[in-house]
Amino acid sequence: MDVLETLIRRNREWARGVLEQDPAFFRKLSEQQAPDYLWIGCADSRVPANQIVGLLPGELFVHRNVANVVLHADLNCMSVLQFAVEVLQVEQVIVCGHYGCGGVRAALDDARLGLVDHWIRHVREVAHRHAGALAALPDDQRRWDRLCELNALEQAHNVCQSTTVQDAWARGARLAVHACIYGVGDGLLRVLAGGVSGPGEVAALAAAAGGAGRASGRTKALE
């Protein structure tokens, strides 16, 4: 109970602080939410979506899971995507990976952690698809960093291939998909591939993953 009391006290302090800045803040928010962005990121506690992009409640629609995985069979993620695009009409979808991702590390190590292994299996598939490029890197740290980037690019590609996004583009809706990576060590967000706004631009994700023109064909999933 002490733990909750601490959180409740902090909540009251936070709400009071917000009201000091804008006395109508919560009343306005309670009337509608109209975020401009959908953020799909890792559940990692060091990557709090709103905070790192400096957005207030109401400005960012968020879906987070271990290693920011986007699966077409994941009813949760697909529902968030559909609701964000078709109901809230967000025009920007950001898939954000992060350096130092534990889920990506586990994929790289083939670690056995339990139930979560099934989930991480999808990141392992990304590692397998890019095995040649990863093996060519000079050290383990760079392999980890690169797989964090490749995973964000592959998951952004999955967003682009979803029926929600394909349908939105087919009806001419303005909708851009971006792949980004966040540095937990420096607090900076970097763009891996930005502004994919139609089926003809999806190749930009493969290019950023080093897939364009690669002879091995291991980046097939991005093409």
22 is catalytic: no
- Cβ at position 74, least distance to Co ion in Å: 16
Catalytic residue among 77, 96, 98, 148: 98
180 is catalytic: no
98 is catalytic: yes
Catalytic residue among 12, 27, 46, 128: 46
- Cβ at position 35, least distance to Co ion in Å: 22
How far is Cα 214 from Cα 220, in angstroms, rounded to an integer? 10
Query: In terms of CB distance, is 64 or 218 closer to Co ion?
Result: 64
Query: In terms of CB distance, is 41 or 211 closer to Co ion?
Result: 41
According to DSSP, residue 57 is labeled: T
Query: In terms of CB distance, is 143 or 204 closer to Co ion?
Result: 143
Query: In terms of CB distance, is 98 or 157 closer to Co ion?
Result: 98
42 is catalytic: yes
How far is Cα 38 from Cα 202, in angstroms, rounded to an integer? 18
How buried is 184 (Cβ within 10 angstroms: 0-12 exposed, 13-18 middle, 19+ buried)?
middle
Do residues 19 and 26 lie in contact, with contact meaning Cβ atoms separated by under 8 Å?
yes
Q: Is the dihedral of CA 105, 111, 114, 117 positive or negative?
A: positive
109 is catalytic: no
Query: In terms of CB distance, is 10 or 46 closer to Co ion?
Result: 46
- Cβ at position 104, least distance to Co ion in Å: 7
Among 73, 49, 186, 185, which residue's Cα sits nearest to residue 122? 73
Core vs surface per residue 16-30: b (16+ CB within 10 A) or e: eeeeeeeeebeeebe
CA distance readout (Å), 145 to 21, 130, 150, 200: 39, 13, 9, 28
Residues of the shown chain interacting with Co ion in the complex, contacts defined by CB under 5 A: 42, 44, 101, 103
CA 123 to chain CA centroid, nearest Å = 13
Catalytic positions, please? 42, 44, 46, 98, 101
